[in-house]
Amino acid sequence: MDTYTDEELMALVQKQDTSAFEELLRRYEPRVFGFFWRLSANRQSAEDGTQETFLRLWRARVRYEPTGKFSTYLLQIAKNHFLHERQKQNRRKDHQPGAAMNPFAATEEPAAPDAVDRPILARELQTAVTDAIARLPEALRLVYVLTEQEGMSYQQVAEVLACPVGTVGSRKVEAVRRLRELLQPWRDGLHGAGPQ
């Protein structure tokens, strides 16, 4: 199975081959899990998202056509699930007073470091960055995670998100600006500490 391409494996999956599906799971599980982890910074959400994405892939196997890259197709499923879950959460929040309606609004208030006057460990900075990414508005967060963490080109991100390439660029710049604001309390640590 190692020698098969993703598309060949999907062709086998379409014939109910579970071992081919296991191989795809082995190949893409870290990437999909990482995608959800970076979007949510929450293990349970990331695991649920990963499980649901692969289940959706299995259910959609008959409709799969190898017209583009398999990874793009898989991340589209993951993105759709993420947005679907966010919509459900927002609907629940809408019933609460003072619910935010702006999709570009940050999801939560940024967390400030509890003690910035002590030496900041690299691990703390990494966690702060992960948290800050998870707090970006979802439209910006998706673009940031897909370009920065998944290493996708603007064109690929545009395909996944079904939006123009120019929008990807402008959202990416906006995401970086928001991250700078969110990480303002950590600025000294960011520039002072390297990976440990």
Residue closer to other proteins by CB (options 5, 18) is: 18
21 binds other proteins (CB under 8 A): yes
Q: Which stretch binds other proteins (CB under 8 A): 94-102, 104-112, 134-142, 170-178?
A: 170-178
Residue closer to other proteins by CB (options 73, 189) is: 189
SS (H, E, C) the chain: CCCCCHHHHHHHHHCCCHHHHHHHHHHHHHHHHHHHHHHHCCHHHHHHHHHHHHHHHHHCHHHCCCCCCHHHHHHHHHHHHHHHHHHHHHHHHHCCCCCCCCCCCCCCCCCCCCCCCCCCCHHHHHHHHHHHHHCCCHHHHHHHHHHHHCCCCHHHHHHHHCCCHHHHHHHHHHHHHHHHHHCHHHHHHHHHCCCC
Taking each helix axis from N to C terminus, what angle separates 18-40 and 122-134, rounded to the nearest 10 degrees? 100
**Cα–Cα distance measured from residue 160 to residue 152, given in angstroms and rounded to the nearest whole number:** 10
Residue closer to other proteins by CB (options 59, 84) is: 59
18 binds other proteins (CB under 8 A): yes
> Which of 182, 192, 188 lies closest to 129, judged by CA?
182
Residue closer to other proteins by CB (options 6, 29) is: 29
Write down the least CB distance from residue 68 to other proteins, Å: 19
Write down the least CB distance from residue 38 to other proteins, Å: 8
Q: Segment 79-138, which members bind other proteins (CB under 8 A)?
A: 122-123, 125-130, 133
Write down the least CB distance from residue 150 to other proteins, Å: 12
Q: Segment 24-83, which members bind other proteins (CB under 8 A)?
A: 25, 29-30, 33-34, 37, 43, 46-47, 50-51, 54-55, 58-59
Q: Which residues bind other proteins (CB under 8 A)?
A: 16, 18, 21-22, 25, 29-30, 33-34, 37, 43, 46-47, 50-51, 54-55, 58-59, 122-123, 125-130, 133, 147-149, 153-154, 169-170, 172-173, 176-177, 179-180, 183, 187, 190-191, 194-195
